[in-house]
Amino acid sequence: MPIGHGAGKLLLFGEHSAVYGYPAVGIQLSHGLTVSIDAGACGSGWVLPPLPAPAAAQVTAALDALAPIATEFGVDEPPGHGRVTITGDLPMSVGFGSSAAFCTALLDATIPSLSSDRLRFWEAAHRLEHVFHGTPSGIDTGLSIYNGASALYPMSPGLPTRSRVRLPECTLLVGATPRERSTAQLIGAVRERHDRDPRGFSRGMATLGDLAERVARGVDAVALGAVAGDAHAVLVDLGLSTRSLDACITAILNEGALGAKLSGAGGGGAFYGVFVADDAESALQRVEERLANARVEVSTLFVVKLTADPAK
């Protein structure tokens, strides 16, 4: 029975502005998904684990799209039916790249030779992710496949170009709140903002792009926190935060973070704060208590340690 793994991602900088050609900076997470396919479990069709209706339809479409890709890569009998198992510790649908992780895990299970050629792996995962996002940027799948930290420069209509990023040694306190709006709704709201105030919108996107580029060139932990705060202010101005996200950011800052921001599309979802050394570890429980007292629902909260070693 083929088994594959796909890593999640955390987008540090460049959300929304990457759509307009500016760079994004993010990291691969140790959290991920494992996918297995038992082709002998049923004679036809796919048997899926319990999933929300939209996700189940997308997963089925991705499985159906897998066979022609696998055939291109020399797999003689790619699975066309079977029982699919999805496990892992990656929170779903809150901005950690779960659809990209599923695509990479599915390919890893079916075409294990791809892991030795990351660019071809990325291209194949990008093709599969069209099932989940009609015009994916390629950023999430790139961060899922490449270790460590990366800067990704959009090159529409193809994949972004990628460069390694050396981040400072520090810790991130990472979490997520339930999504209040879909990614499509958020992108639509951003476009409406553009239509109302084109000049102001362009300045905001340029600022987000400049901040991402600054981090890509290299910063220390204090500067990383400051840049996170600056980027979050722009995203708030764009209407992408929520009361729950604001409460999470405030709680993190009150526990000594150097800076904090939302991550991803916004409207709820992922966020992170930057801490020196191992301070995020000691802050985690206190942040949990603050949010519980404020009755803010958090779906996950964990610590990520950054090292100065660049991605490979």
Assess whether 7 and 123 both reside in one domain: yes
pLDDT in tens, 16-68: 899 899 999 999 999 999 999 998 778 788 999 999 888 899 999 999 999 99
pLDDT of 311 above 60: no
64 lies in a domain? yes
* C-alpha to C-alpha distance for 232 and 278, rounded to whole angstroms: 23
pLDDT of residue 312: 54
Assess whether 174 and 160 both reside in one domain: no
Q: Which residues contact 249 (CB under 8 A, 6 or more apart)?
A: 232, 241, 260, 261, 262, 271, 273
Assess whether 99 and 159 both reside in one domain: yes
Tell me the pLDDT band of 309, cut-offs 50, 70 and 90: low
Pick from 73, 68, 67, 79: which is nearest to 111 by CA?
73
The mean predicted confidence, pLDDT, of the chain is 93
Assess whether 68 and 188 both reside in one domain: no
Domain boundary among 146, 164, 182: 164
* C-alpha to C-alpha distance for 41 and 285, rounded to whole angstroms: 43
> What is the domain range of residue 231?
170-306
Ranges assigned E (strand) in the chain: 3-13, 24-38, 46-47, 82-88, 149-155, 158-164, 170-177, 259-262, 269-275, 300-306
Tell me the pLDDT band of 166, cut-offs 50, 70 and 90: very high
Contact between 59 and 48 (Cβ < 8 Å): yes
Helix (H, G, I), strand (E, B) or coil at 297: coil
85 lies in a domain? yes
* C-alpha to C-alpha distance for 304 and 282, rounded to whole angstroms: 13
Domain boundary among 106, 138, 164: 164
Mean pLDDT on 89-104: 95
pLDDT of residue 186: 77
Contact between 186 and 265 (Cβ < 8 Å): yes
Query: To which H or E segment does residue 231 belong?
Result: helix 221-237
- Greatest Cα pair distance in the chain: 58
137 lies in a domain? yes
pLDDT of residue 157: 80
**CATH of residue 244:** 3.30.70.890
* HEC sequence for 232-248: HHHHHHCCCCCHHHHHH
Mean pLDDT on 229-236: 97
Give the total number of structural domains in the chain. 2
Mean pLDDT on 204-209: 96
pLDDT of 191 above 90: no
* C-alpha to C-alpha distance for 255 and 210, rounded to whole angstroms: 28
52 lies in a domain? yes
Range of weakest confidence among 10-14, 43-47, 199-203, 230-234 = 43-47
177 lies in a domain? yes
Assess whether 159 and 180 both reside in one domain: no
Mean pLDDT on 180-186: 75
* C-alpha to C-alpha distance for 245 and 162, rounded to whole angstroms: 30
pLDDT in tens, 240-283: 999 999 999 999 999 999 999 999 988 899 999 999 988 999 99
pLDDT of residue 287: 98
Per the model's pLDDT, the better-predicted residue between 61 and 134 turns out to be 61
Assess whether 57 and 114 both reside in one domain: yes
**CATH of residue 112:** 3.30.230.10
* C-alpha to C-alpha distance for 125 and 128, rounded to whole angstroms: 5
Assess whether 50 and 198 both reside in one domain: no
312 lies in a domain? no
Assess whether 22 and 131 both reside in one domain: yes
Sheet architecture: strand order including 269-275: 259-262, 269-275, 170-177, 300-306
Assess whether 11 and 127 both reside in one domain: yes
The phi, psi pair for 112, rounded to 5°, reads -60, -25
Assess whether 154 and 177 both reside in one domain: no
pLDDT of residue 39: 85
Contact between 240 and 57 (Cβ < 8 Å): no
Mean pLDDT on 214-223: 97
pLDDT of 290 above 90: yes
Mean pLDDT on 92-109: 95
pLDDT in tens, 54-86: 889 999 999 999 999 999 999 988 888 899 999
Domain boundary among 164, 190, 206: 164
114 lies in a domain? yes
Assess whether 267 and 202 both reside in one domain: yes
Tell me the pLDDT band of 310, cut-offs 50, 70 and 90: low
12 lies in a domain? yes
Mean pLDDT on 81-97: 94
Assess whether 122 and 175 both reside in one domain: no
Q: Which residues contact 134 (CB under 8 A, 6 or more apart)?
A: none
Region of 286 (left: φ > 0; alpha: ψ -120 to 50; beta: rest) is alpha
